[in-house]
Chain A
Amino acid sequence: EDKVVQSPLSLVVHEGDTVTLNCSYEVTNFRSLLWYKQEKKAPTFLFMLTSSGIEKKSGRLSSILDKKELSSILNITATQTGDSAIYLCAVGQYDGGATNKLIFGTGTLLAVQP
């Protein structure tokens, strides 16, 4: 059975801390790995990773994929209260047709305290 597992499930840090969120997967026909940030409503796109070892960076956020270990990490440096959210990892699965399903992990709830 295809699955995506995130850890930790929840995390509380103080402003200025650096956090690392983990995502591991067992998915057939892997195509891509995506990170989303979900606050009160729908998820907003952060990164899409397809190649192993190439870091993607956006401001204080960065992410990298390790296809050998079937995992990815999302790093957030100098955390701010606005980073508080659920961070979702999703794996895109090629199904041989025109669609590409995303299989979501359980999410990591990050709370950044002032």
Chain B
Amino acid sequence: GAVVSQHPSRVICKSGTSVKIECRSLDFQATTMFWYRQFPKQSLMLMATSNEGSKATYEQGVEKDKFLINHASLTLSTLTVTSAHPEDSSFYICSARRPQGAGTDTQYFGPGTRLTVL
């Protein structure tokens, strides 16, 4: 199978603090990982694409200085929400891309992290 883990599953923090979320591909190497955000009853919104060994590519409207992404190895990407505010409260989901042959690929998702900023 293709297993992606995410840690922590739930975090509550005070406004102004920073929170780090880890995403790991457990049984395959992921050269590319993705970070999504999902608000209640809404679909997944891509925040950024994380490539191993290079800078992340952020989607329009996502502040790269606020959402720091590091992809230090082929199995680990981290998202740090800096100086968190209540409006950053959301469900954050990572995915890892597993190539499945030329021209096609599939993303496998982690279980998500519920962030609540007080």
Interface residues of A (CB under 8 A from B): 31-32, 34, 36, 41-45, 48, 50, 88, 90, 92, 98-107, 109
Contact = CB atoms under 8 A, between A and B. Distances in A.
Contacts of B97: 99-100
Contact of B106 (A34, A41, A103): A34
Nearest to A47: B106
Task: Describe B's contact surface by its main secondary structure.
Answer: strand
Nearest to A44: B109
B34 interface: yes
20 contacts: A31-B104, A34-B106, A42-B93, A42-B112, A43-B109, A44-B109, A45-B108, A45-B109, A50-B104, A88-B44, A90-B44, A98-B32, A98-B51, A99-B49, A100-B105, A101-B34, A102-B46, A103-B46, A104-B46, A109-B41
A88 to B, nearest CB: 6
A-B residue pairs, 9 tightest by C-beta = A42-B109, A42-B112, A104-B44, A104-B43, A41-B111, A106-B43, A42-B93, A99-B32, A43-B109
Contacts of B41: 109
Most chain B beta carbons < 10 A, residue from A32, A92, A99, A105: A99
Interface in B39-65: 41-46, 49, 51, 57
Contacts, number: 62
Interface of B: 2, 6, 31-32, 34, 41-46, 49, 51, 57, 93, 95, 97, 100, 103-112
B101 to A, nearest CB: 10
A14 B2 CA distance: 33
A45 B98 CA distance: 12
A102 B107 contact: yes
B32 A48 contact: no
Given A102-B46, A102-B107, A104-B44, 6 more contacts: A31-B103, A45-B108, A92-B105, A99-B97, A104-B46, A107-B43
